[in-house]
Every structure is written in structure tokens, then in C-alpha cells.
A and B are shown apart, each in its own frame.
Chain A
Amino acid sequence: MAELKAEDMQDIQGFVISGYAHLPCVSYLLLGISDPPSARGWLARLVNEVTTSEGKELISCLNVALTHRGLRRMGLDEETLDTFSRPFVEGMATQHRSRILGDGTENGPTNWDWGGNLTSEPAKPDETKAVDILLLLFGRDETTLDKLVNEHRARLAQCGLTLVLPLGAGRQPDIHEHFGFADGMGQPAIEGTIQTRDAAPRNVIKTGEILLGYVNDYGKLADSPTLRADLDPQDVLHDQPPVDPTEQARPSGASPPVMRDLGRNGTYLVFRQLAQHVAKFCHYLDEATRTLDEELDSTASDRLAAKFVGRWQNGAPLVLSPDTDDPALSKEDDFGYRDSDAHGFKCPIGSHVRRSNPRDSIGPDAAKALATANRHRILRRGRSYGVRPEDRRVDDGVPRGLHFLCLNADIERQFEFVQQTWINNPVFGGLDGEVDPLVGNLTKGDEIFTVQADPLRTRVHNLERFVTVKGGAYFFLPSLRALRYLASL
């Protein structure tokens, strides 16, 4: 496909194209709308400050997303609200979603610090935890970010907004998350964007897999929210393209009303706050790898951690470098599992990276398996929060973890599928009764993890919950046009 047009790049929020790796300081402000007219005024001003995808190197960046509840409070009409995708309309915290995402017991939405917007469940939403708007602020250093955050916090009160929770992330010394592993590896690249420049062909996905209003992997336009043209008298939005560009218009009676595309150049943003229990993780690894003489074995412990993850601490994939953390391979992402490691002897079948993206390994043949797996890719935009512990083996009680953010065009087919069919699936890839060792939903009692080996596998037992969900919500990251439309309501 051709490059996206410049006009579209000005319309797409910059967060889609870039994770702003050059801006190490970040703060997420979770906001509620108390006075819609003032909030619309706030949004009208904010649109001019939103970072677009034009690719300028900025010292600070700003992006904004809304929940379904937020769109409603902003004044969007019910008919249009109903055209958004079902997971987004219902929110992350329905009972069914809690089951498929693994948000039971400690992970349950009732225990969350924020989010859990319940728009469709009988239970009354907890108003203090509900979120309408997510404001993402990035800065090149603490001073820049603090200035930006303070400026925006100062505006809230007179703009009809409340601060539900500020989620400051702090500056992270490097790209390693708190368990010690380099994060952000293995991203898909959106066709038609600069992301494809260094990407292996196997990791390039159709534009419509991330951006609404474009052709997706089925060759169809990604489902996009729409509204009647008469609701957009100022012509802020594009007309909705024909449903199926390959299909010739069929003769039919009355022509349907002209619709405007509210979703085009926008995407859905999934946000989950994942607390990481570093001391628990380290202790578990220590105890699980004691030698026959009950001695600690740090090599074995590092190795087991790498087996959990599927990459070494510095990023080298186990499937390419099963025995050492080869620095030359730390960014390597052009590989499969089928030919070199069908049995998981190098990279365990149940490891986190293999579950999160099984690549060419599941299905009758490699090409088909890869094509199928690529229909479930997500663009990760997460960052760690909280300071590194001084001693990884001491529980200092300081909150830390990962703000998991990802972008996708179809929450159900992408994020939720990965979570349900791969991460939390006890029978993934022929395994029997185990889930992802890092983020899976542990419910059984004796939780196991299998390390395949030749001739005989090893199983480690009694895995603990190393990660807990602290909050989450589904957001819509609109195009700038759509933001202008919302501000014009």
C-alpha cells in the first residue's frame, strides 16, 4: 500500500506512529467530566496542542483519548455512541470480560484503583473510579514534563474537569521493566507508515489492523464509528467510504442516509495498570532453582526467568540464542518457531513472548499460521512506572509496575484474543493446565510452568501471582478531526 497521505498524518495522533522513545518522562492524567460545555471548550483549545504524526522532534508531546462514558458526557448522541465496537461500549470490567481477561480474585475490577467503567452492567459504577478522559503527557526531562503537567492540571477546574488520578511514571533508567527484561521488543509495523522502514516483512500488518477506516487483514475496512451527516453541519468529518470498496454498488430502493466517519484515523487504546511484585518474583526463582544440595544457583535462576519470558534480559530471543544473552541479537525480531524450535526446547511453548505472539507455530503450515497469528497483533505503547528497588529481593512496599498501553482496531479480535486464547489459555499450543507465568490468571492452586527439554521436560510448581491488575479501561484515541467534532458539539 502507498504511504499515508500528509493530510492523514496531520490528522492521526502521534502516539499511533511513535511511542516517543526520545521523551523519557511521562505522566498520564485520568480525568472526569463534571461540566460538559466547559469540557468542550477545553477540548477545542487542546486540539491545537495535540501531537500529530507528522514526525517532528518535539521536546514534549501530548495526546488524548476518551472512554465511551467520556464521549457520552462530552455530548455525543446515543445513536452515534452505539456505532462504536462492543468491547469499547461495554467497557473493560464486565463479568464476561473479567473472565476472559483473567481479572478474577485479586485482579478483579472491584479491587482496582481506577477504571472499571461499567456502562452496561447492572451494578452501579463506582463514580470515584470511573474515567472519562486520558491525557497522555510526555517530556524530554523532568522539568519539561512538570511544567506541562502543572499547566494542564491548573486548567482542569475552570474547564469542567476533575482529576480522577494522576499516574506519574517517573523516568526509567533504561528500557528494562522491573523484572529486569528489555521491554518493547517485537512490535508490528503499520503498512503505509515509517514503521515499516526497518521491519521484517513478517511483522508488517495492514493499516486497518490499527487505524480505523482503513483496509484490514481481511481486505475489508476496519469497523469504524459513524454518524449521520446532518449531525455534522460544519463538515468537520470525512464521508464514510463505501462499506466494501471492492464491491460494486447494488441496485436497491431508497439510498441509505449519508454517513460521516468518526473513527477514521483513530484507534482504540487499551490501558491496564499492572503492578509487579519484584521481590516475590526473585524469591520464587531462587527457590525453584536451588541445587540438589539446597544451594542458590544464580545462573539457573536467570535461566528460568529467561524461560518464563522467552527472551534473555537484554532482549536476545531464546529461540535464536538458547544458551547465552547474545547482545548482537538484543533487537532481533525476524524469527519463527516452527522450523527451529517446534517442541519448545529453546523457547518454552508457554513462555510469555511465545504466548503473546506464537508467530508461525500454531496451525497446519508455517505461512498460514503466521498469517493467522498476525490477525491478532497489537501495537504496544507501555512504559514502566515506579522506581527500581534498591535490593530486588526485599519487598520495600513501593508501588511499581507497568502501564500497559496498546493500540488496535478491533479490541475483541486483537487485545482480548491475545489475552484469552493465548495468555490465559490453559491448553495453549498443546500444553495442559498452565497459563502465562508472568501475567496469566492463576486460579488452580498448584500452578505449573513446563520447560520443554530433550529428552524430558521439567515442570516448576506453585507459581505465584507476580503481577496484579490495578486498573484499566478501553479508550478511543480519536483523529484530530474527530476531536474537533467532539469539541463542536
Chain B
Amino acid sequence: MKQTILTFITQVNPDRVSELRTLLDVMGSNVEQNPYIPYLDLKLLHFSSLVLTDDDVYGAYLVFENNFDGELDQYLDDLYAHAAEGLHLIYSCCLDYPAGSATEKTQLLSYLRAHIVHPNAYHIGNVGRSAVRTQQEDALRDGFEDFLDEVVAQGDVGPASSIRKKVQTLVRSQPAFAWAANVEPRQTPLEYAVPRLKFAIAAVMALLLSPILIPLAIVWIVMLRWTETHEPAPPELDVKEHIKELVKREDRTHIVQNHMCSITTVKPGLFRRATLCGVLWLINLLARTFFDKGELSGIPSIHFAHWSMIDNGRRLLFVSNFDGSWENYLDDFIDKAAFGLTAVWTNTSGFPKTSWLVGEGARDGSRFKAYARASMTYTNVWYSAYTQSTVQTIDNNSRIREDLFRTLDVTAARDWVRRF
């Protein structure tokens, strides 16, 4: 099952920025019941956000983030069917919007299509699990937990194999759970093979072209080191007031996830732009192959994260839907993925001093956090289709269902029961 990650990025009419901001803040204050986009009806959607950013140089942008199941056409039809009026009101505040009314479907959707930004790199925590499946498996697990409470209360637990039998009988005997027995695969063989094939081709190409690539790499390294040693030191940032605004929307009660949207300026010159482009390409290659089992470089808490170079590569947009607190997320980044994230953001202005692309940088914890906070924009609207689930619990729930009727040996059966 394919998942698609993209953003629609449009320029906002300067005269209507405050009007749009008001509209978005109304949406954001009660996202599930907002009158513009009925998120709960969009069954393909995992996470979505609307961010209005105003920049002195680039002007006001509206970033509409969508992480959904399946292909774009189907999603756009669904979006239009449920939210035409709201989209029309929102995009009426944007430049070059052609539709005169919400009924002009072709104009509205072609406007959206024209402003699609596909990420340079992205990561998905629970590959191949649709939003609907995620919700169903969560309910299934809750049902099993309640059932197992009864098993315990009756004082008749028995060995793991007999516990499994009891749960299997429950599923077979209850029509409400019948769907659970037919497990669709997370990915088709093709979906699994294509990224690996791409990786193999890239590796072979790199080998074949090594006589050219190695001298190029040496030139690149010299240029990199020269650049690093001649760049001005990053400024000390005072982000207290900015953080005060950001945290008003963070750590909401009854939501175990948080949202982060960051826009940074790529350092001037083609060298940094090209380096960033290369680094993101490499990250994407790895994210499609090695990091498709729930963790991105050891970080187990990212549902959907994506990097997009925008404005002809002059700015970098990073958007993430993650579990837990921002502090914890950033600590994870610093402790487990400082290498990769330094390689990305060292190409942007204000990042802590870096050596050899991946050294130091984010390891300067408090300066890196100040930089990350300074780069963040205020998320006006943010929706999650499953507010109580982490990447790890979603995966655990999937494994409970996938292994329910599988033949398991004693150890595997014991491990299955431990999933509760």
C-alpha cells in the first residue's frame, strides 16, 4: 500500500494575509470540527497541516501539508468532494487563484496541482499501513486488551499458546472482529523491490563512474573545507519570545504527537545548494531502503517527515509529525542522528559551526536547539488521524494482528503474548 507525501505551496495575496491567518487560526482552534476542511471525513489522510509563513524577502506563503494513502488523483477527488467550499475560501486569499466559485472543480484542482511540491526526501514510520487500518488495528488491540483482562480476572491464564487460542476463538466467534483475519500485506513485492533496485543501480553507477567521481569528490571536499573555514561564525540567537509563541500550540492534552514546520535559508552560492541537494538525495535513498522499518537512523518516533527545497533551492522546508515532546525529539536527533542532520542543515544559515560536513554541528546541543527553534514557524492548523498512537504502538498493533493466525513456535507465541 502506497503512501504519498506532498505539500501545496502557494503565495498569499499580501492584502489578505491577516484575513487568512484569522481563518486558519479558527480552523486550528478546533481542528476536528472546523467548518472549512472536515478532516474526519478524509479517510485517506494520516496527518495534515496548514502553515502561513510571512518572510521579509519571500513574502507570505501558505504551506498545505498532506500525508495520505494511495495516489494523488483519488485523494484530490476526495478532498474536493468534502472540502470544496473551504478550500475555495482558503485559496481565494492566495495569488493567481483562478476559480470564481467552489463549484469550478477543474480550476480549483488544477491550481492545487500546479502548486504541488514533492519532497526531496521523506521518511515514513509505519510503511504500508493505511490510516483506516491503523485506526482499526488500534480498536482491535483495545478489544483484545479488555478480553485479556477478563481472562486474568477468571484466574485461568495458562501458557502462551492457550492464551493465543482464546484470542483466536474470540475473533472467529465475533462478527465485529471478522475482518481482522484477512491481513493485507504492507507492501506489494514490487513496492518492496523498486527502491532496492534503485539503490543497487545507484551503487553500481557510482562504482562504474568512480574514475570520474573520486576526483570530483576530492575537489568537492577541498571546496567544502575552504567554505567551512571561511564562513562567518553563526550569530547567538535569542529565541525566548519566539518559543513562547510556538509552545502555545505544542503538547496538547490527549495528543501524544507533535508537529514541527521549519523553514531555513540555504547559504548563498551554488556550492551549498548542490551539496544540500546531494545530501537529501542520499537520505531519501536510505530512507526508502534501510530506514523503512519504523526508525530513521535510530529515531523511533517519526510518523511522516519530509524535506523540500523550495524557491529554486534557496530555502529548505522541513515538516515532521512526531511522537512525544519537542525536547525529546531534538535530543533523539542530537544523540542518534547528529551525523545526518548536520549534513543537511549545515548548508543553511545560522547552523552551529560544522567541520567536514558531518562533524560538530548539532552536537552543540543548546545552540542547535536554539537554531532549530528559531527556524520553526507557527503551525496554524494541524490534524492527526490517530492522536493516541505512536509509531511503535501502531507497529505493535499491526504485528498483533499479522501474527494472530500465523503458526508460531513456543518462543514466538510467548513474544506475541508479550505484545499486550
Chain A residues close to B by CB (< 8 Å): 82, 86, 89-90, 95-96, 99-100, 104, 120, 218, 220, 223, 244, 247, 250, 252, 292, 343, 363-364, 368, 371-372, 375, 412-413, 416-417, 420-421, 425-427, 430, 432-433, 443, 452, 454-459, 461
Q: Are B390 and A456 in contact (CB under 8 A)?
A: no
B250 touches A364 (CB 8 A): no
Q: Tell me if A426 and B252 are in contact (CB < 8 A).
A: no
Q: Could you tell me the distance between the alpha carbons of A120 and B145 in the complex, rounded to whole angstroms?
A: 44
Grouping DSSP codes into helix (H, G, I), strand (E, B) and loop, the A interface class, with mixed when no group exceeds half, is: loop
Task: Given A90-B244, A95-B248, A426-B256, check contact A252 B233 (CB 8 Å).
Answer: yes
Which chain A residues border B159 with CB–CB below 8 Å? 455
Asked whether B325 lies within 8 Å of A430 as measured between CB atoms, the reply is no
Contacts A223-B366, A455-B414 hold; do A120 and B160 have CB atoms under 8 A apart? no
Residue in B closest to A256 when the chains form the complex, CB atoms: B236
Q: List 17 A-B contacts (CB under 8 A).
A: A86-B244, A96-B248, A99-B253, A218-B363, A247-B353, A252-B233, A364-B298, A372-B335, A412-B327, A417-B325, A417-B327, A421-B327, A425-B256, A430-B396, A432-B396, A455-B159, A459-B149
CB of A471 to closest CB in B, whole Å: 22
Say whether B393 contacts A432, CB under 8 Å. yes
Q: A363 to chain B: which residues have CB within 8 Å?
A: 335-336
* Contacts A99-B251, A420-B251, A456-B152; A218 near B324 (Cβ below 8 A): no
**CB-based contact A456/B240 at 8 Å:** no
CB interface residues, B 372-420, toward A, < 8 Å: 388, 390, 392-393, 396, 414, 417-418, 420
Chain B interface, >50% SS class: helix
**Distance A89 CA – B160 CA, assembled complex (angstroms):** 54
Whether B189 is near chain A, meaning CB under 8 Å from some CB there, is no
- Cβ of B420 and Cβ of A457 under 8 Å apart? yes
What are the interface flags for B318-331 relative to A under an 8 Å C-beta threshold, 1 for contact and 0 otherwise?
Answer: 00000111011001
Partner of B388, one of A220, A343, A433, A452: A433
Cβ contact within 8 Å between B160 and A455: yes
B96 interface hit (Cβ, 8 Å): no
The one of A100, A430, A455 in contact with B157, judged by C-beta atoms closer than 8 angstroms, is: A455
Residues of A within 8 A of B324 (CB): 421, 425, 427
The answer to whether A456 and B420 have CB atoms under 8 Å apart is yes
CA distance A244 to B252 in the complex (A): 36
Smallest CB separation, B157 vs chain A (Å): 5
Residue-wise interface mask of B (273-316) relative to A, using a CB-CB cutoff of 8 A (1 in contact, 0 not): 00000000000000000000000001000000000000000000
| B interface residues, how many (CB within 8 angstroms) | 46
* Chain A residues with CB below 8 A from B252, complex form: 99
Residues of B within 8 A of A430 (CB): 392-393, 396
A223 to B370, CA, bound (A): 12
List B334-380 residues whose CB lies under 8 Å from chain A.
Answer: 335-336, 353, 363-366
Does B163 belong to the interface (CB within 8 Å)? Answer: yes
Contacting residue for B392 out of A100, A247, A343, A427, CB 8 A: A427
Chain B residue numbers with a CB within 8 Å of A343 are 418
Nearest CB on A from B35, distance (A): 25
Residue of A nearest to B328 (CB): A421
Interface assignment of B206: CB less than 8 Å from any CB of chain A: no
Complex contacts, B414 vs chain A, CB 8 Å:
454-455
In the assembled complex, the Cα of A371 lies from the Cα of B336 at a distance in Å of 12
Does B233 lie within 8 Å of A250, measured CB to CB?
A: yes
The answer to whether A375 touches B331, judged by C-beta atoms less than 8 angstroms apart, is yes
Q: B250 to chain A: which residues have CB within 8 Å?
A: 96
Q: Does B155 contact A (CB under 8 A)?
A: yes
Told that A425-B324, A454-B414, A456-B163 touch, could you supply 15 new A-B pairs with CB distance under 8 A?
Answer: A86-B243, A96-B250, A104-B253, A244-B364, A368-B335, A372-B335, A416-B327, A417-B328, A421-B327, A426-B256, A443-B253, A452-B418, A455-B159, A455-B163, A455-B418
